[in-house]
Amino acid sequence: MIDGAVVHSPATESLEGDSPRDRCPECVGPLVHRDGCVACTACGYSSCG
């Protein structure tokens, strides 16, 4: 608290724009759009097979 005001420190990691559809259904890693498919950079999952 500073001069009667509550001060919150910024979060160390922003989850803004992060939704379950942006996460891999196999490992919950980050998904990227590549060549018309969605692929996981962590485990190699791909929506194209």
Q: Would you state the pLDDT for residue 11?
A: 40
CB within 8 A of 16, min separation 6: which ones? none
Six token digits for residue 1: 């608290």
Could you tell me the pTM of the whole model? 0.54
Q: Would you state the pLDDT for residue 10?
A: 47
Q: Would you state the pLDDT for residue 7?
A: 64
Six token digits for residue 3: 């001069």
Q: Would you state the pLDDT for residue 30?
A: 95
Sequence length of the chain is 49
pLDDT 10s digits, 1-49: 566 766 654 443 333 446 777 899 999 999 999 889 999 999 999 999 7
Do the beta carbons of residue 42 and residue 29 sit within 8 Å? yes
Distances (CA, A) of 41 to 9, 10, 14, 23, 31: 31, 27, 19, 10, 6
